[in-house]
Amino acid sequence: MAVELRFDPAFVEEAVFLELRRLRSAGHGEVASSFHREREAVYELPDAQQRDIAFQQLAHCTFEALGLAELFTARLSEFPHVVAHVELLVVRRVWNNKDEQVELYIGQPGDARLTLHVSTTLFIGLQAMRCLDRGKLTAFLRHELMHVDDMLDPAFAYEPHPAFGGECETEHDLIRERFRLLWNVWVASRMRRHDWPLPEAEQHRRKLDRAFASWQPRRREAVLQDLGSRDRCTQRELLDLAKDERLTRMLGAGGVRCPLCHFPTRDGVRAWDGEWAPVAQAIQADYPDWTPAHGACVQCAELYRTRLYAVHG
């Protein structure tokens, strides 16, 4: 099935202007001069609607001539499940990194059902300035499209609203974040095996170490090696790996979560004698069910000690 590829006219126009400016700065101004001559001719059209259509057509033709459209079409051929199931890919302009995203709609937009027997549309929100660095754009698209390819692969068994298995929303959030990191690790490992450069944002070893601080370094290395060698994986396997019984237990129960802020921690305060005794009393004033045996992370304990000294000097 051929994927229909549509570009937001605003994205195309900005990308063309940016690329032509780059070419002019690099001493290749003839392409830019030719484009601007054709654009000036469009202004002579008497009808405003015709001018708008002509401007868009000129920008789109130039976008293709500059090889920018091929950056996207070439990527699609690398992901068989995307080609097999996606009917329409829409690239739209966004203004900053936070708004960049890839959204897969199965059926009508807003329909949460996941079935491969209805129309499938893929939206990519992208800054036009990414087109100025084709290597980085290619890495970004491969990274995102590999996630989409997994979602459309029956072997991955993707569910849009899986059961995370936590006991509260905080636990769900922790498991969700760890699942996202593990999925990124698996994506990155396959990109390396293809000799594809990784996006800069996915040099994520530090994030992984922090999210899985409760694991021994040897276990983290084993998981990385295992995911790095896998050709097959399922969403459920990654979710099960993201769950850790120590992560969902508090410090006082042998886990790694602070009972006050609920964030995981490598270190915790468990001895509340000496200078820590009044700190424990201050915590109990705010959390009547808390006892020193429950422990607290260093950050929370230091926060209460700072507040205590600020009041009493």
pLDDT in tens, 58-101: 999 999 999 999 999 999 999 999 999 999 999 999 999 999 99
In this structure, the number of other CB atoms found within 10 A of the CB of residue 286 comes to 9
The model's pTM is: 0.75
What's the rounded Cα separation, in Å, for the pair 25 and 42?
25
To the nearest 10°, report the CA torsion of 138, 78, 116, 11.
30
**Of 130 and 113, which is predicted with more confidence?**
130
pLDDT in tens, 236-289: 999 998 886 666 677 877 777 788 887 777 678 888 998 899 999 999 999 999
Percent of the chain with pLDDT over 90: 59
Q: Is residue 249 part of a domain?
A: no
Q: Is residue 146 part of a domain?
A: yes
* 95 & 64 share domain: yes
* 189 & 108 share domain: no
Of 156, 191, 222, which marks where a domain is finished? 156
DSSP states along 214-246 = TS-HHHHHHHHHHHHH-S---HHHHHHHH--TT
* 115 & 38 share domain: yes
Of 156, 177, 192, which marks where a domain is finished? 156
* 97 & 24 share domain: yes
What's the rounded Cα separation, in Å, for the pair 33 and 222?
57
* 152 & 79 share domain: yes
* 88 & 180 share domain: no
What's the rounded Cα separation, in Å, for the pair 171 and 179?
12
Q: Is residue 250 part of a domain?
A: no
Q: What is the mean pLDDT of the chain?
A: 87
Q: Is residue 251 part of a domain?
A: no
116 confidence band (pLDDT: 50, 70, 90): very low
Domain count, the chain: 3
CB 246 within 8 A of CB 211: no
Q: Is residue 102 part of a domain?
A: yes
Average pLDDT over residues 153-158: 96
* 53 & 13 share domain: yes
List the domain range (segments joined by +) for residue 196: 169-242
Of 49-63, 181-195, 198-212, 270-284, the range with the lowest mean pLDDT is: 198-212
Q: Is residue 211 part of a domain?
A: yes
* 122 & 52 share domain: yes
